[in-house]
A = this chain, B = another copy of it.
């Protein structure tokens, strides 16, 4: 069984390795895959996008653990969410938002399992979520770890644009300085092929097929690998060239 880990722990400390140790001690046969550990510290919205990308990238039966947990030690709940034939374990702080809306048909349960020897008050990722994932990977049924169904998990103000929308939003800027938006390929299709894209003072024209459809240094709108509208500058930078920031509005006209 594959277990992925998505956190804001960074890679310069030993916290990721400690989670892995807890997982292996529970289930030595697990196959661990790092999602990303470089989500900006406590940026739950950025983490929510990474969680959805992890679920979308793997197949049925995968278990995902996500830890961005500024509320550790408070009474915030932990969740086990079934989505896309996979299970995601995470705090109930909005981290599930993007997978909840974008993949859909999710069912959330309270993760009520706790280790017999107790958990720390500061590191539930290592002490609860990782061993719970190890139990799932080892064959324990989800129901044995869960309390009641959670009808309304905490959700952030981060939702996909709806069909017919004329405005979208930048939700992530990646390492190449390309901007991912909340506008799906389907929403773009609902606007017809004449749709033109704009952001700030800039007009980008129609949605292109790939970066190379514009000259080097020019801005381009296309459907990126996440099946979302993406704004890029070919071999360049949307933040430097266009001044784009996460949260900026994108016009679909």
Contact = CB atoms under 8 A, between A and B. Distances in A.
A249 to B, nearest CB: 23
Interface stretch (A89-97, A102-110, A207-215): A207-215
Interface string A200-243: 00000000011111000000001011000010000100000000
A31 to B, nearest CB: 7
Contacts of A14: 35-36, 49-50, 53-54, 57
Interface string A117-130: 00011110011000
A17 B73 contact: no
Instruction: Give the number of copies in the complex.
Output: 3
A211 B74 CA distance: 9
Nearest to A127: B225
A210 B57 contact: no
Nearest to A73: B210
A57 B175 contact: no
Given A2-B28, A16-B36, A71-B212, 11 more contacts: A10-B38, A11-B37, A14-B53, A21-B33, A21-B54, A25-B59, A32-B33, A73-B212, A120-B225, A122-B211, A122-B224
Interface in A1-34: 2, 4, 8-18, 20-22, 24-25, 28, 31-34
Nearest to A123: B225
A20 B33 contact: yes
B121 A53 contact: no
Contacts of A151: none
A-B CB proximity, top 8 nearest: A73-B210, A21-B57, A123-B225, A14-B53, A12-B38, A10-B175, A121-B210, A18-B57
A159 interface: no
A101 interface: no
A181 to B, nearest CB: 14
A13 B33 contact: no
A157 interface: no
A35 B57 contact: no
A54 B8 CA distance: 19
A210 B73 CA distance: 6
A53 B12 contact: no
Most buried by B among A32, A35, A74, A209: A35
